[in-house]
Chains A and B, each alone.
Chain A
Amino acid sequence: MLQIDNLKASIGDTEILRGVSLDVSAGEVHAIMGPNGSGKSTLAQVIAGHDDYRVTSGSVTFNGRNLLDLEPEERAREGIFLGFQYPVEIPGVNNAYLLKAAVNAKRKHQGLAEIDAFEFLKLAKEKMAVLSMDPKFLNRGVNEGFSGGEKKRNEILQMAMLEPTLAILDETDSGLDIDALRAVAEGVNALRSPDRAIVLVTHYQRLLDYVEPDHVHVLSEGKIARSGDKSLALELEEKGYDWVREAANG
């Protein structure tokens, strides 16, 4: 589904990704771990198409298409979803309005009829129940005055509504209390399916207790230093990131 080959990317003059290669197939859950500054978030942003980052070499292919040729909104409509580490507040814009516009932008791209307000509300309320979210959230400004946990749940709600082919969740677990973490994990697990892939970008192993990954990769200094199965995450937890760094350098 997603093939990343020797990807290098910079912000300004600073090279952050220094040759990342990664293959993600349908039905898989990948976890990308690594210390702060290792390039995890950059990788997520580059896949989503943030124009602060300049791709200097390498390729990213998504279902056979060159992803780097597409605008961010085209990537989204093709089925790529990024759950933001810091979801942005958009004061005055109704949460339901944004969500409905997003759902319909994708449906239009797929040649489907737009979903009407009634259908939309019904669907949104179902998904919110799974995430233990108060339906009142729909009528608030996008992330406006939301707590950290509320913002992250809102990301998962958007993901659930958009039903992406590839979901990348950037530090979705950070700053969550245990209840919020469980709710988020349930939302992610509900989305697991044979035709969908999920990439979890995380600093800690604790989310992986709830969402079991098929593959774990450790990013260090802009490269994937090590890949393995879920036991790698546990090993990391025990030995710390220095262990990977030393192993990579040694």
Chain B
Amino acid sequence: MATDPDNLESIVNRRYEHGFVTDIASDTFPPGLDENVVRAISARKNEPEFMLEWRLRAYRQWREMQEPTWAHVHYPPVDFEAISYFSAPKSDEDRPKSLDEVDPKLLETYDKLGIPLHERARLAGVAVDAVFDSVSVATTFKEKLSDAGVIFCPFSEAVENHPELVKKYLGSVVPQRDNFYAALNSAVFSDGSFVYIPKGVRCPMELSTYFRINAANTGQFERTLIIADEGSHVSYLEGCTAPMRDDNQLHAAVVELVALGNAEIKYSTVQNWYPGDENGKGGIYNFVTKRGDCRGANSKISWTQVETGSAITWKYPSCVLRGDNSVGEFYSVAVANNYQQADTGTKMIHIGRNTSSTIVSKGISAGHAQNAYRGLVRVMPQADGARNHTQCDSLLIGKECGAHTFPYMEVRNPSAKIEHEATTSKISANQLFYCRQRGISEEDAVNMIVNGFCKEVFKELPMEFAVEAQALLNVSLEGAVG
């Protein structure tokens, strides 16, 4: 497949002769989605034929599918024809080799968002694959990782350099037609991260990706694939922030994790998409499919998420516990303030023998927000000795918000041990007065109580991420009381 610009141009022109209308040389495609747009995305990214075919299959399936309506969220229908499906930053052709070459304005934006990228990368020894809109603009620590045999690169690079791995694993956890948004993502995904940890390797550093949305009216369709080969170990951090804006933005990411025998993947997220203003105007629609497959015996996948952003969140990081003795974990803090709506939870599918799963969900609702936990624990007939513990706590701040719990259990093996605990509490006026009488402002008191409530989840986060998460929570609940 051609990689140099001249060749690309010739392909582009040739396809134009065949009636393509989308100008793939432009930085942002015009709104709308059809097969031509899918082809154009693929061409723009110089993808091999198998990838284009894969996208087209997904697109055709998506066209037959209906948008799901079962979630406890309300929003005006999304006009998929009004969305532009590709946008690249200006300097796409000569991508920076280091952070020094990154547009200072971009770095400044990161700073404003509290993500001092260079500092973070340097001080914390974290490799950062920053996604600015749809195309990666900075990748660091590559060498150290490649010494260990770890592949950590933008998805598009993996398609180019490791097609055999992509072919083998892409869609193997979240099939194209898994759900409406996953199908859409499969057809039009722009970029994302690809990670492969070879057999027996413990990844020498935490891998981290920061996402953010920039260009207006552009859907973001990230695709992440992480493969931990036998006996390997990796911890992956994902964080997102987005600047203020009025238009609703659709974000439909897919994350697939594959853990082979004795491998462990720890996936941590701090999600802070723009939630809309205090009247519920604007904000990101975050419809994400995240799933991990504990494919081998004794494997482990652990999801930890702190969700503070988005106008609407629809997200269920799940574990398929296929391997015997495999372990799935889900630790979640979901904050909904003002008019935010969150429908989030997890699915634990027990297939192997002696599999175990833990779910700890902490939902915080303030303002007029609606926060729903939706969880499924399914024990298949062959899953002897399956165990699950679910703890689902809700904290309400104020009188206008709501917390909802939808736990589903499907147990088809009598040896399963399933426990479910749920609590709902309010920050009481007496607690606040007590703190204030000790000289602590109401806002600080709320933060303190909320952080206490979330402690069990925060302690699962990597240290520097935990600090950030705590700060983020405080910002998210500003003005929640009084």
Contacts and interface: CB of A to CB of B under 8 A. Distances in A.
A92 B449 CA distance: 7
A73 interface: yes
B433 A50 contact: yes
Q: Which 10 A-B pairs have the closest CB atoms?
A: A92-B452, A93-B452, A102-B438, A76-B439, A105-B439, A72-B436, A73-B436, A88-B434, A77-B439, A88-B430
Contact of A73 (B431, B442, B451): B442
A102 B440 contact: yes
User: Mostly helix, strand, loop or mixed at chain B's interface?
Assistant: helix
Nearest to A74: B439
B95 interface: no
B40 to A, nearest CB: 52
A97 B433 contact: no
B23 to A, nearest CB: 55
A92 B455 contact: yes
B434 A105 contact: no
A154 to B, nearest CB: 11
A120 interface: no
A65 interface: no
Given A73-B442, A101-B444, A90 B452 contact: yes
A92 B395 CA distance: 13
Contact of A90 (B434, B437, B454): B434
A109 B452 contact: no
B169 interface: no
A82 interface: yes
6 contacts: A73-B442, A76-B439, A87-B434, A102-B438, A105-B439, A109-B439
A102 B439 contact: yes
Interface string A86-121: 011011111001100110011001000000000000
B333 to A, nearest CB: 12
Nearest to A104: B439
B115 interface: no
A204 interface: no
Given A90-B431, A90-B435, A158-B438, 14 more contacts: A48-B433, A52-B429, A90-B449, A91-B453, A92-B455, A93-B449, A93-B452, A94-B452, A101-B438, A101-B440, A101-B444, A102-B439, A102-B440, A106-B439
Interface residues of B, number: 22
Interface of A: 48-52, 71-73, 75-77, 81-82, 84, 87-88, 90-94, 97-98, 101-102, 105-106, 109, 141, 158, 162
A92 B393 CA distance: 13
Q: Please indicate which of the listed interface residues B435, B442, B444 has the most CB atoms of chain A within 10 Å of its own CB.
A: B435
Contacts of B444: 101, 105
B448 interface: yes
A141 B454 CA distance: 13
A63 to B, nearest CB: 16
Q: Please indicate which of the listed interface residues A49, A87, A91 has the most CB atoms of chain B within 10 Å of its own CB.
A: A91
B428 interface: yes
B437 A48 contact: yes
Contact of A162 (B429, B435, B439): B439
B26 interface: no
B436 A76 contact: yes
Interface in B427-480: 428-431, 433-442, 444, 448-449, 451-455
Contacts of B431: 88, 90
A91 B454 CA distance: 11
B439 A141 contact: no
A88 B435 CA distance: 9
